[in-house]
Structure 1
């Protein structure tokens, strides 16, 4: 990774308002970032947060996982429905959502944020399964990278609610890209803020590198295939969420570099579109207060 958190001089009070994690959240983050943790150990750590357990049970019983029988305990939810890797990724997202209360930023749509984050994560995971160049990255790493891609935007909605609200109002009226306007006004992108956040909370370096280098199109480090995949998946999720056409030239370029069949992208877009209502329900549980 090129650089460190100290090299990015954010104009947000040196991030002095960035909240410290509660002890329970610190232990949860440590648990979800332990590769070989057992289901029993993970269950006991997640139980430190009743609110997190309630949301994970809600996810297990959501339309997306529709199984018929009601799941009433977390171990069963992990073992029979969600799976260890997915629970770790979703728990990570929920912990971040709890830390960053964006309700003071009136235009910030938390459910839409998590819907697009889930679309990005799932698109990336599905496409990576058939991509030889992504074999160095586990399915859970790909999924979590997509889920955390825009975490800096969530943090900004909490740290700078009035300014971000103004940006959202302006972009909604003009059709301008929110990310571009944030970079113009703050001097740095929300991906860079996300990097600083993950660095401060000591998340694995692969996620830090993804955010630090996301806008560096000429980046040639080992995470390049993952970055190309995430940029493609982000375009797909934005197109599905907005209903606008997806740039075919960008799809073709990413598929060429990743040696990925265009048909796989088309099938993924179709699947995500068909399952978007269930994913929106899932996002509502993740983003609820």
Structure 2
């Protein structure tokens, strides 16, 4: 019966885009505009963002935050885009989408958004650090995939809270990792849920596939290395930030696929997270 519930949930996922705090077309436009090696005019990016007043205000606040240490005030969206960079704007828009979804519905008892977001940001930073050291994927795409890797957990909690609580109880009772409890409960995991939603938002495979396969990277069709990177970033971020989960530990064989020893990969992640380059984004979402 619970597997039938899972299949019905998958059918309902495309409707999630209607609950985003901005038009879902904005995401498609942003990814199209930033997907060509950043060659699209800044004016086009700024125009797309400026159509949403709330998003524009957040963008300006981020550009004017102390994290950027600018000598003069940023007063226009166009200038904010130039200061932040196209990929940073993209990540901010997606993070605000997650924040907006979480604000629109009550979360079930036991799901705390702040620790959830902290882990997303940690994995984003870890993934970008690994990507900068290897040739597995573009560092900015790695950051975005890390930021979204557990989107399916949030969606389950928001749209199927009773099922989320049942999975939480199963994970606790049998000391299972979350994805193992999901598979046991309804035959699918949050990677698939998140990946399907991102595909329904017309995001590219460079982002949807690492999200989809981050708990089974070697099963990923096509190019598995981005999925391997996302999986290792998840495990190492948990280790470095002392947020372990049963069944999730850094795998030396995954590091080897990226051309690294596990110690080298760990050092890479520790350095990336010590840099604090997610602090501005975290502050913008607080």
TM-score (norm 2): 0.79
Deviating more after overlay: 174-183 vs 184-193: 174-183
Deviating more after overlay: 146-155 vs 163-172: 163-172
Are 1:86 and 2:88 matched, yes or no? yes
Superposed, which structure 2 residues align to 1:142-181 within 5 Å? 142-165=142-165, 167-168=167-168, 176-181=176-181
CA offset digits 1:238-258 (Å, max 9, x no partner)? 223335599998353222211
Equivalent in the alignment of 1:15 = 12
C-alpha distance in structure 2 between counterparts of 1:192 and 1:248, whole Å: 18
For the structure 1 residues 111 and 68, does the alpha-carbon distance in structure 2 shift closer, same or farther, using more than 3 Å as the test?
Answer: farther
Contact between 1:122 and 1:143, CA under 8 Å: does it hold in 2? yes
Equivalent in the alignment of 2:97 = 95
C-alpha distance in structure 2 between counterparts of 1:54 and 1:245, whole Å: 37
Task: Compute the RMSD of aligned alpha carbons.
Answer: 3.5
Unaligned runs of 5+ in 1: 1-7
Contact between 2:14 and 2:200, CA under 8 Å: does it hold in 1? no
Q: Secondary structure at the match of 2:218?
A: coil
Contact between 1:46 and 1:52, CA under 8 Å: does it hold in 2? yes
Equivalent in the alignment of 2:53 = 50
Greater RCO, CA 8 A, separation 6+:
1
Contact between 1:232 and 1:254, CA under 8 Å: does it hold in 2? yes
TM-score (norm 1): 0.78
Q: Secondary structure at the match of 1:242?
A: coil
Aligned match of 1:123 in 110, 123, 126? 126
Equivalent in the alignment of 1:110 = 113
Cα deviation, residue 114, structure 1: 2.1
Unaligned runs of 5+ in 2: none
